[in-house]
Amino acid sequence: MKPLGLMSLSRRLTLSLLLILGMLSVNVATHFWGSLSRNDSMESFRESVTAQQLALAIQQDLEDQMIQVEFLATLRETTGDEINDAERSNAEASIGALNAQIRTLGRLTNEFTQQHFERLWQSTSILLPRWLKFYRDYNNSLPGVPLYGDELRQSYEDVRNRLLDLENEQTVVSDEQAKIIDSTILLTDRITVFVFIASIILTSALGLYLVRYTNTSLRELKTGTERVGSGDLGYRIPIIDNGELGALAAAFNDMSGKLNEAIQDAHAAKKSADEANQAKSNFLANVSHELRTPLNAIIGYSEMLYDEVGDSKPIESPQFAKDLQKIIVSGRQLLDLINDILDLSKIETGKMTLHLEEYRPGDLLHEACETIQPFLDNQGNTLQVNLQPGLPLFFGDATKFRQIFINLLGNACKFTSNGTISLRAEQESGERVRFEVEDTGIGMTEEQQVAVFDAFVQASSATSKEYGGTGLGLSICQEYCELMGGEISVASEAAIGTTFTVLLPVGMAEIEED
């Protein structure tokens, strides 16, 4: 059974109602018990009174019958008159009626008067037959011969005494029944008054207790509402009970907890949005710088060429070709930057497509190495290529495959000076090939590795200023890998170097062209 302090309001109300109903049931049961007891006592009392009245009637009939017998006996002795058949029949009927009355009296006896009645019955069983014999032998007796003897008188006296004893006992029983009735009424009244008073006290106590409990519970809920409303989202309402109010408190606590989490999430989202805005602001600054650099070169060399063409001096073909080459390189650099921005825009809008075809990964990797060769020479880096012989034929987007490794190799060259860059490829178990691009450059910390694949983000502002770039290359590589059903990861250590690992499936028949 639950402790009273943890009972719900409904349980408390139910318990209170049951207690009140129990008291009322006791009151009703006491009333019915008193009524039944009074009815039984009254029935016994009425039977006793009826038995007394019947005993008096029997006593009068016995006395009348005895007087008649004595009169007839005296008349026969003195005059010799006889009785006719009608008179004898009437006498016998009177004796039979007297016998029936005695039997009725026997049915009215109880356990207290049963013994006295049995004695009376034994005496009447002797007297009544003698009276019948008196009437039947009346006309046959000789005049002057007595018909009435001492035995008959003695039998009558015996019956009369037994009847008096029975009457006295019935009187005692009647008095006892009257006392029982009085005591039952008194007890019933006392119990009724006691239960009534107890019901009032119990109802008042339970009402006060429930009002106090409800006020306390509602006060706790009000306090919690006020504190949460004032901004104290960490406040929790104490669990009042295991019922409705407890469930309400738990729901309120859960609501305030979720609200607190939502506010924290909102703060985190705001912080993330602020960081994203800052990152995009830095990105725009970097892009502006990156765009201006090749544009300035293109414009500057174009003006120089324009001036040389307008000058009267003869044009130096080697220098002219060298300047044009610089314009072409700057234009391509500008085009690559614009393509990166357009590719990221397509990825974010879900419009990036895959052009599936068969290709040999080794050939595309060599093309990527040739593409970045000038960059390698400028940085004084050495490229080591180790491709497993017999790499399988790939089915996928060859252009995006080549772009992934151009970006990775270019990124390795950017952050490595007079170092070594390694490109490795080997087939793993199953239909996947592992590619690794390793450098001996500046490396990254663990915090920098977490955000290395985020768009618009570079390791630090100092890195952006020193090495340039927009922070889009690695993000595009990750998106391309996922589009082709593969994955990319990074392992790095500051001042030692970085290794990018790409896992790509050989076949992409399960990937439908968007």
DSSP-assigned letter for residue 385: E
> For residue 2, what pLDDT is reported?
46
Q: Are 120 and 139 in contact, with CB atoms under 8 Å apart?
A: no
Stretches where the chain sits below pLDDT 50 are: 1-2, 509-514
Q: In the chain, what percentage of residues exceed pLDDT 90?
A: 11
CA-angle at 483, arms to 480 and 489, nearest 5°: 55
For residues 152 and 91, give the distance between their C-alpha atoms in angstroms, rounded to a whole number. 16
> For residue 487, what pLDDT is reported?
92
For residues 150 and 28, give the distance between their C-alpha atoms in angstroms, rounded to a whole number. 63
For residues 278 and 273, give the distance between their C-alpha atoms in angstroms, rounded to a whole number. 8
CA-angle at 428, arms to 397 and 473, nearest 5°: 40
Tell me the domains of the chain and their CATH numbers. 27-184 (1.20.120.240), 275-351 (1.10.287.130), 353-505 (3.30.565.10)
For residues 369 and 409, give the distance between their C-alpha atoms in angstroms, rounded to a whole number. 8
SS3 232: coil
- Please give the biggest Cα pair distance in the chain: 208
For residues 504 and 129, give the distance between their C-alpha atoms in angstroms, rounded to a whole number. 134
> For residue 382, what pLDDT is reported?
92
- Comparing C-alpha atoms, which of 415, 422, 416, 436 is closest to residue 488? 436
> For residue 454, what pLDDT is reported?
79
Long-range pairs of 364-373 with CB within 8 A, sequence gap ≥ 24: 364/398, 364/401, 364/402, 364/405, 365/405, 365/423, 365/425, 365/435, 367/402, 368/402, 368/405, 368/406, 368/409, 369/409, 369/423, 371/406, 372/406, 372/409, 372/410, 372/413
Residue 61: CB partners within 8 Å, gap ≥ 6?
A: 94, 97, 98, 101
Average pLDDT over the chain, rounded to an integer? 77
- Comparing C-alpha atoms, which of 31, 306, 352, 1 is closest to residue 196? 31
DSSP-assigned letter for residue 6: G
> For residue 415, what pLDDT is reported?
87
> For residue 511, what pLDDT is reported?
47
Q: Cβ atoms within 10 A of the Cβ of 246, count?
A: 19
> For residue 513, what pLDDT is reported?
43
200 exposed, middle or buried (CB, 10 Å; 0-12, 13-18, 19+)?
exposed
Count how many Cα atoms sit within 13 Å of the Cα of residue 143 in the half-sphere of its side chain: 6
**H or E element at residue 493:** strand 487-493
> For residue 106, what pLDDT is reported?
82
